[in-house]
Amino acid sequence: MPAGQVKPLDSLRAKLASAFDASIHHTDGWTDAAAMDRLRKRLGERHDGPGSPPDSATIASAVTHFRRHGEPDGWRGLKRVCFGAGSVDAKGWCLLSDRALRDRLIALAQGQEEARRRVRCYQSLLSCYWGFQLSSADEKAREGWIALRDWLAARLPTVERDAGRRPGWLATLLVHRNLLSDDPCGKYGPKLLAGDGAEFKEAVAGLGIPSDSWVPEEAVVAQMKIGTALNHERFRHTLPGLLSVATGVAGVVPSKALQTRCVAMLVSRYAKVPGRPEHMALRDAAVNIVGNPWLRRASWDASVIDERGRPDDDAREMVYGWLKRRLITDFFELLSEDGTADSRRLDYWLRFEPFIDDMWFALGANARWRRGENFEDFRNRAKGRLLNLEATTADNNAFVMRMGDHVAIEFGETGNALYVFRWDGLPPAVAQKLLSGKERTDVTIHQLKSSERALLIKRHRDSPKAIESWEQKFDVEICPILGRRPKERPAFVPELESLLKRYSVEGADRRPQGGALWVLTDNSHAALSSKVRALGFTYRAGKGWCKE
């Protein structure tokens, strides 16, 4: 080698020395705590974490190969099939729904010679279990998912032995093995209801459960189950919070299917509360989420079921009753001629609410187009039972009530009489329009006031001299036609009615049975006695005040 020329070996030595010397001069990088934490985190995710599935296209290809050949495409193919066993293809098929293929896959997963591979297969099938679309699965797929769940639970002790050093995901699963049972989230219900989600979040994070998994949904259902198992008083106290969770107000909005399931549970439970007082938030949630039991009974009955798995008739009638009462109130409070409440007609027809089978509202121009939250809410609640009222003033509206074989029609403007028809005696044009199913159709006031077809036409006029209200007169004629009588008595004329309320005494009208009109109190109260006597009542010792 010529003099002065550097030997190749010497050149290599110099470069290595320079490289190592530079590293030695930067030893501060060796103690970078943040860098070390990041490295530890990456290693933990790789070895302790639950693992992430491959992309969907790769999984779909592996599943297709397994379905076609009955064997996976090598070791990687087997892992991918385990991940994708619950994936549904474009035709609605998934491997879990095919018992033969499912059994073959599980046999391959637990039959791997290497323990490491058996654990990896278990991890992949566990990921499949979390990601299964439970709410939309058909019966066969659901049966396959349950079979996978039972296998995962039974296999867990073996996987614990195979894993050797227990990775983080496995340690979490052993603590939360309830997730592999037929009541996966019941354990978390009490704490979640109390607002403590730490334990559940630990399970979700440690097992890599995706946000769109069935697990968070079942955790919501667990809260509902705990809440609905409370006694009446505590349930009513907890109901606002449960409704907030069920409707998504309290956090993540549940799927439509889950909202329906939860609200149905709450409605069924509330139907057992003594007296079942109207709960407006529950009423609105039931109608907006489950549906209108009045207009969509079949859909409602399929969702709201009792402990025997049958349609919950009590819950349906409760919500329907609330809805009817709200609509009756809206008509006489919102749609009266001057916009003020017609309390006497409202009170009168609320007594008949249990007998009303169907209702329609024919709206004049003003009510059809008037803006404002109250009017918009009314039109939304009455959707499907609205008509346009024509050939009358813009302020007039009509309220059509079907009760058995009869129909009663009230109008918003004062001075209009009540019309009562037999259902089969309605003008054909009116009956067709009521049953047309169209979103809106026109009906004229003249069609609704067909005098020659009406069984009864009554005006709302009291008879002061007889101390007889129009409500009493209506009952005398309407109740025999309907064959039904409300439990509550009809109101007396305003003067007598106000006396009864003011002095907290009862009245009784026994004239329909051939008796008299009574004020059921003694003569010990001088002021009341004077006022009742002035109305023409006579005192009868031991019985009260009467007027023949």
Average pLDDT over residues 379-393: 92
Residue 512's pLDDT band (boundaries 50, 70, 90)? confident
C-alpha 283/C-alpha 323 separation (Å) is 7
pLDDT in tens, 109-137: 999 999 999 999 999 999 999 999 988 89
Last residue of a domain, one of 319, 345, 365: 319
What pLDDT does 100 receive?
A: 96
Average pLDDT over residues 396-403: 96
What pLDDT does 122 receive?
A: 97
Phi, psi at 483, each rounded to 5°: 75, 20
Residue 22's pLDDT band (boundaries 50, 70, 90)? very low
- Say yes or no: 296 and 237 in one domain: yes
In a domain, 313, yes or no: yes
Q: Are the beta carbons of 262 and 274 closer than 8 angstroms?
A: no
C-alpha 480/C-alpha 482 separation (Å) is 6
What pLDDT does 23 receive?
A: 45
- Say yes or no: 477 and 451 in one domain: no
- Say yes or no: 453 and 518 in one domain: no
Average pLDDT over residues 9-19: 61
In a domain, 6, yes or no: no
In a domain, 202, yes or no: no
Average pLDDT over residues 14-32: 50
Phi, psi at 518, each rounded to 5°: -125, 145
3-class DSSP state of 507 = strand
What are the structure tokens assigned to 256, written together?
A: 């439509």
What pLDDT does 248 receive?
A: 87
C-alpha 459/C-alpha 469 separation (Å) is 11
C-alpha 360/C-alpha 358 separation (Å) is 7
C-alpha 355/C-alpha 487 separation (Å) is 11
C-alpha 359/C-alpha 387 separation (Å) is 11
Residue 221, pLDDT above cutoff 50: yes
C-alpha 86/C-alpha 53 separation (Å) is 12
In Å, what is the CA distance from 202 to each residue of 168, 171, 178, 484? Answer: 11, 11, 14, 60
- Say yes or no: 414 and 494 in one domain: no
C-alpha 545/C-alpha 519 separation (Å) is 5
- Say yes or no: 310 and 346 in one domain: no
Last residue of a domain, one of 265, 287, 319: 319
Supply the mean pLDDT for the chain. 89
Residue 13's pLDDT band (boundaries 50, 70, 90)? low
Pairing mode, if any, of strands 506-509 and 442-444?
A: unpaired
Residue 26, pLDDT above cutoff 60: no
Q: Which residues contact 165 (CB under 8 A, 6 or more apart)?
A: none
C-alpha 177/C-alpha 357 separation (Å) is 51
Last residue of a domain, one of 436, 460, 484: 460
In a domain, 29, yes or no: no
Q: Among candidates 340, 354, 338, 348, which has minimal Cα distance to 494?
A: 348
Residue 539, exposed/middle/buried by CB under 10 A (0-12, 13-18, 19+)?
middle
pLDDT in tens, 179-216: 999 999 999 999 999 999 999 999 999 999 999 999 99
- Say yes or no: 515 and 536 in one domain: yes
Q: Among candidates 140, 152, 150, 151, which has minimal Cα distance to 94?
A: 140
H helix or E strand, kind and range, residue 76: helix 74-84
Looking at per-residue pLDDT, the higher value among 1 and 219 belongs to 219
- Say yes or no: 260 and 371 in one domain: no
What pLDDT does 334 receive?
A: 87
- Say yes or no: 450 and 477 in one domain: no
In a domain, 197, yes or no: no
What pLDDT does 74 receive?
A: 95
In a domain, 347, yes or no: yes
What pLDDT does 50 receive?
A: 59
pLDDT in tens, 302-355: 999 999 999 999 999 999 999 999 999 999 988 876 555 578 999 999 999 999
Average pLDDT over residues 457-483: 90
C-alpha 212/C-alpha 199 separation (Å) is 19
Residue 25, pLDDT above cutoff 90: no
Average pLDDT over residues 420-449: 92
- Say yes or no: 106 and 215 in one domain: no
In a domain, 534, yes or no: yes
Residue 84, pLDDT above cutoff 60: yes
- Say yes or no: 339 and 411 in one domain: yes
User: In terms of residue numbers, what domain contains 167?
Assistant: 56-175
Instruction: Name the domain count of the chain.
Output: 4
In a domain, 36, yes or no: no
pLDDT in tens, 260-291: 999 999 999 999 999 999 999 999 999 999 99
- Say yes or no: 434 and 479 in one domain: no
- How long, in residues, is the chain? 548
- Say yes or no: 346 and 450 in one domain: yes
